[in-house]
A and B are shown apart, each in its own frame.
Chain A
Amino acid sequence: MKKALDRVVDAIDIETFLYCKTEEEAKELAEALALELNLPHGDIVFLEFKAWGARVRIRSYIHHPGDQYRWMETQEEK
């Protein structure tokens, strides 16, 4: 079986809450988190910072529209 990651149709979202003291720190942490999780090209889609932390959504596109979609190859596997 090929990697489960190949079956991701387009994107992976990481929804979480980060403890931090500033919005800038939140951005840095969100970017670092994407790297630590080995998410390719992680983008911060949403970030709301208030007082003690930030609600964030980090997105990594596995397949962009127009890519060669690896999930299409599953038909050939079968």
Chain B
Amino acid sequence: MTTVLLAPLDPVHDNAIKLIKRKLVDAGYDAVSMPPGTSPEEVIQKALELSPSAILVSRTLGYKVAEILSSLVDLAEAAGLRNTTRIGVGGMAITKEIGTELGFDGCFVGELKMGELIDFIENRISCNEVDAGQVSSRKKPDITGAYSYKFYDTTIENYLGVIADQVTNWVGKKTTDGIERAKVRMEMLECEVAERESRVNPDTRKRLLEKYIGFCDAEIKAFYQSEQLPNGVRWLGKSEIDKVPGLFDSAHGEFTPLRHTGTKPLFFSQYGTGCPVMDVFHIKVAEAWGIDGVFHFDPSWNAQREGLLEGHLTHEHDGTIITLENLKFIRHFMEPYTLWNVRGHRGLNTPETQVLGHAAGADLFKINIPYGSTAGGTDPQRLTVDGIYSLMLAAQYGIPFDIPGNDELSGVPPYKTFAGLLIMMALGLKLGARPIPKPLLCFSPYMTINGLMDDNMIEMNIAKLAVWRDIVDTPLWPGEPVGFMTHTPDRVQSALQTSLHATLASTMGVDAVTIASSDEAYSKGPISVQARVDTLRAVRDELRFQGSIKANITPAIESIKDEIHEKITATLKQVAERGDFVASIYEGLLGSQEDGLYPGRVGSGTVRE
């Protein structure tokens, strides 16, 4: 058995030594500890008796640190221990610089990592080398793989079957400029590959671009025909682009998840600062602080124009412009295990966004017809046709899609939103795609107006997750982000609300959670990097506080859950009996004007046979 000698070179503090001793014993080591106040001479004396593989000493107080520690190293040298025994140091008073300067073999600062400590004892790798150049062995997580999508509620399943048939029959062979652009874009991407292999006439791309422009509106046409950029947009300079790799040329180090226990939930945050370079920085910081995945937010005007731009483009507004070049640039700098969602759940470029997202390496899409076609969004007819095509693309590419339930923010009750999510699930499954519903944990207008969270925010939110477990075997991903409408301009309050909502979701065994930054709602400008770190740190600590505790479904939660379940069933019955999904949206069955939801108008009258 390998012997390790542990000694606090400190008059009082030995908690870390005790903790390490317990963990080393658990790991099969003969760990011998000495009491606080041990002198360097006593440590060396003991080491000569035991001949340990390693000596680990700690120091908390800053007083006389260098003097005491250098004395230990000198005595070890004089006793001939340095060739047989590795000496490591740690504790609050220690920095890497002190440890290295004084000649210790290893120096442990910050959070205790037993893996590093054991590697040090076993002389596998110097702890000073651990931080640099380590390539993570982390695999990209799979959110949908463990789920069968079997419906436990056959009544709901039957209604969904009827609705899904209605929708696909209605869509039939309808098309839009958005779909036609997606098809041309696919040809253009194929053409680019062929061009590289010199298998294509150079005029082919020009011909395809002309065809593409034919499906665009005036502003996008002006971009392609006269290089006229939309107001406020500029090209990223080559020198700017070329500098980015140099900023991130050192290794990221081992991934440290936010999770304290288990493998889920995964945590996601959105980016979309408006600038791809700033996005890369935000993503790299979020990765370093433990994020599992990110998703791309585009500007609202991006969704309201027929056609997408090309090239590396930046602007000083919310949302980063979707171009293939921007997407590829951003993806290039992500860690290979970071999950990446490119949203296309709304707007006139929904199908093409899926095409570009796939070409750039997206892992997830975001598609929600009812949500995207309301609240200032796209016309329901248009988005239904485009959405079905997008679901077919998701199925073809084998990329799961998530379905945000953010129509609740307009005042829609959760049962109507959830009915919409279920319809999207049914459509996705019918077309061969893998859906992920995203019930929103929030303090929505419906809750406020009806006093449903007057006492607490826990019961309703748990019920909103629990109801899914009674309906279908599906992954669940609360978003988008959790805690919406609970945030204030105060960063401490915002970080707290995010962490409380995130960990509440965690107690329900969900698969993923989207979290906000502490700037998300009221930053009066772009989200700052420190605001991202704030909530990541808060969530990590709250998860540590909570451990593996699971939520208890109380009678009050059961009652709310059952009511939501009944109303979902009633809503789906209404939609199925209406016999027209698009009309159901126009008529407010999935969110009415009284609720606060209005059918979108963008792209009205653009569907054709």
* Chain A residues in the interface with B (C-beta under 8 A): 15-17, 19, 21, 23-24, 48, 50-53, 55
Chain B contacts for A52, CB-based, 8 A:
247-248, 281, 284-285, 288
Chain B contacts for A50, CB-based, 8 A:
253, 285, 288-289
Q: Which of A17, A21, A24 contacts B528 (CB 8 A)?
A: A17
Tell whether A53 pairs with B529 under 8 Å between CB atoms, given A19-B247, A21-B250: yes
A51 CA / B533 CA spacing, docked (Å) = 13
Are A17 and B97 in contact, with the CB atoms below 8 A?
no
Chain B contacts for A16, CB-based, 8 A:
530
Chain B contacts for A19, CB-based, 8 A:
247, 281
Chain B contacts for A21, CB-based, 8 A:
250
Among B246-285, those with CB < 8 Å from A are: 247-248, 250, 252-253, 281, 284-285
- Select from chain A the residue with minimum beta-carbon distance to B533: A55
Given A50-B288, A53-B529, A55-B530; 15 other pairs, CB 8 A cutoff: A15-B530, A17-B529, A19-B247, A19-B281, A50-B285, A50-B289, A51-B253, A51-B285, A51-B288, A52-B247, A52-B248, A52-B285, A53-B285, A55-B533, A55-B537
- Select from chain B the residue with minimum beta-carbon distance to A50: B288
Are B530 and A24 in contact, with the CB atoms below 8 A?
no
Chain A contacts for B97, CB-based, 8 A:
24
Give 3 nearest A-B pairs by CB, closest first.
A51-B288, A17-B529, A50-B288
Chain B contacts for A53, CB-based, 8 A:
285, 529
A51 CA / B285 CA spacing, docked (Å) = 8
Q: Which of B96, B287, B533 is most buried by chain A, counting CB atoms within 10 A of its CB?
A: B533
Q: How far is the CB of A58 from chain B (nearest CB, A)?
A: 12
A64 CA / B247 CA spacing, docked (Å) = 40
Q: How far is the CB of B447 from chain A (nearest CB, A)?
A: 32
- Select from chain A the residue with minimum beta-carbon distance to B110: A48
Chain B contacts for A17, CB-based, 8 A:
285, 528-530, 533
Among B91-115, those with CB < 8 Å from A are: 96-97
- Select from chain B the residue with minimum beta-carbon distance to A27: B95
- Select from chain A the residue with minimum beta-carbon distance to B252: A51
A19 CA / B284 CA spacing, docked (Å) = 11
A55 CA / B289 CA spacing, docked (Å) = 10
10 contacts between A and B (CB under 8 A): A19-B247, A23-B96, A24-B97, A50-B289, A51-B252, A51-B284, A52-B281, A52-B288, A53-B529, A55-B530
A25 CA / B284 CA spacing, docked (Å) = 18
A16 CA / B288 CA spacing, docked (Å) = 16
A29 CA / B251 CA spacing, docked (Å) = 21
Are B250 and A51 in contact, with the CB atoms below 8 A?
yes
Q: How far is the CB of B98 from chain A (nearest CB, A)?
A: 12
Q: Which of A16, A21, A50 is most buried by chain B, counting CB atoms within 10 A of its CB?
A: A50
